[in-house]
């Protein structure tokens, strides 16, 4: 599964954000927060799809989402 890799997650995040950031409701959010929300959604949904989701790993999902966020923003 390509979304399970950091490269796949960054690519998917950039593509999704570029597509939805012009939607009326998402225009109200700063792009930085939109990227973070999309990255976290991708990280968590990927772990759920793999059957590896556990509540105890939520801090790790948060850190992975932050890494994906900063990578997607080019920082």
Q: What local confidence, expressed as pLDDT, does residue 66 receive? A: 95
Q: What local confidence, expressed as pLDDT, does residue 62 receive? A: 96
28, exposed or middle or buried, with CB in 10 Å at 0-12, 13-18, 19+? exposed
1: pLDDT confidence band, cut at 50, 70 and 90? low
- For the stretch 5-34, pLDDT in tens is 888 999 999 999 999 999 988 889 999 999
Mean pLDDT over all residues of the chain? Answer: 91
- For the stretch 30-70, pLDDT in tens is 999 999 999 999 999 999 999 999 999 999 999 999 999 99
The answer to whether 13 and 68 are in contact (CB under 8 A) is yes
CA 6 – CA 70 distance, rounded (Å)? 12
């Amino acid at each position: 599964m390509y979304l399970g890799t950091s490269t796949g997650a960054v690519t998917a995040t950039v593509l999704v954000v570029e597509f939805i950031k012009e939607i009326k409701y998402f225009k109200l959010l700063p792009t930085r927060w939109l990227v973070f929300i999309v990255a976290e959604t991708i990280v968590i949904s990927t772990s759920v799809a793999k059957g590896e989701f556990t509540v105890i790993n939520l801090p790790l999902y948060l850190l992975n989402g932050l890494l994906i966020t900063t990578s997607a923003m080019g920082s």
